[in-house]
Amino acid sequence: MGIRMFLVLGLLLSCSAFAQTGKPRVAIPELEDKAGAGTHITSALLDMLTTAIVQSGKFDVVERARLNQVFDEQALGASGAVEGGSAAPMGRLKGADYMLIGTVTECGMGSRTTRVYDSTIKKNSATLAIDIRFTDSTTGTNLFADTFRATHQNVDVAGSGSVIDVSTGVGSSLAREVVEGIVSRTLHTAYPPRIIEIAEGVATINYGESLCTLGDVWEVYAQGKRIIDPDTGEDLGSDEKRVGSIRITEVFPKYSKGKVESGEEVTAGAVLRKGVSSDSSPKVEVREKPNPF
């Protein structure tokens, strides 16, 4: 085993040793650029995403320098320069529980001209879109894959098709909207909002300012038995039913409180969702990762 492999093994061990907070660790590689946005834009978006993930209080983030070293080793193994038994596996990463992999697919301005009787109306728009894959880095399994897009119409832009600036103005608003969507979906997937306890009709919730807003109404779902695929043995999630609703009355940095508005079966451990109906709400997979609270 060469010096490079010893360095990588030491890196992986240090990553594992560094995770002492009990929170799951997420690795966020550099964003791939398919929109021609440029490194300054993708770097700014990556910084915003990383900051938002850290501020959620639910994850530790693998340091960028350490992550790049591991990916360099994976690329070396994929090239055939390292024997198969020694190469770091692609799609997996020791020292991290999750990977958040993103691709910028749209980042620009456009305009459309419409004739209305004798008048010409020009409508400008700015769009930002990022494709995200959230994976379990220990197995390489995709937990979700989705596109997060934001568009502002009738904005004051110069030119057509030019790249937007995500550090100011409309571009900044688009970036924050997209990042908030990514973080919200990530939090819901790794740690669904839950009721920690109920006392005198008031529920304590395991999310604070990162996800809850004063006055929000959340639907409450009780978790039933686990559903296991009889052929593969795969855990498909939990059976569940809607049992009530709560309204957020107090929001703190790391937790919130809400008044039970309906339902007599609202109990500790129930999962919460906002803005979906009971008939069409998707199943939430409750993963067995260490809870930071």
pLDDT per residue as tens digits for the range 240-264? 788 999 999 999 988 999 999 998 8
Same domain? 62 vs 10: yes
Euclidean distance between CA atoms 113 and 124, whole angstroms: 9
Same domain membership, residue 186 and residue 49:
yes
**229 band by pLDDT with thresholds 50, 70 and 90:** confident
- Tell me: do 174 and 31 sit in the same domain: yes
CB 129, CB 148: distance < 8 Å? yes
**Residue 158's pLDDT is what?**
42
Pair (221, 101) in one structural domain: no
Q: Does 200 share its domain with 181?
A: no
Task: Indicate which CATH number applies to the domain containing 209.
Answer: 2.40.10.410
Cα–Cα distance, 85 to 197 (Å, whole number)? 48
d(CA 208, CA 220): 17
Domain residues for the domain of 98 are 3-190
Q: Tell me the one-letter amino acid at 157.
A: V
257 within domain boundaries: yes
Q: Do 13 and 149 have their domain in common? A: yes
**CATH number for the domain that contains residue 91:** 3.40.50.10610
Mean pLDDT calculated for residue range 87-110: 76
Q: Report helix, strand or coil for 151.
A: strand
In single-letter form, the type of residue at position 92 comes to R
Same domain, 53 and 122: yes
Asked whether residue 65 carries a pLDDT value surpassing 90, the answer given is: no
Please list, in sequence order, all residues whose beta carbon lies within 8 angstroms of the beta carbon of residue 260, skipping any fewer than 6 positions away: 198, 201, 202, 203, 244, 245, 246, 266
What pLDDT sits at residue 256? 95
| 206 and 87 inside one domain | no
pLDDT tier at 52, thresholds 50, 70, 90: very high
**Is 42 a member of any domain?**
yes
Residue 169 and residue 258 in one domain? no
The number of domains in the chain is 2
Given 158, 173, 190, which residue is the final one in a domain? 190
221 lies in the same domain as 123: no
Contact 129, 174 (CB under 8 A): no
44/176 Cα distance (integer angstroms):
11
User: What pLDDT does 141 receive?
Assistant: 83
Tell whether 236 is covered by a domain. yes
- Asked if residue 31 has pLDDT above 60, the reply is yes
Residue 286 lies in a domain: no
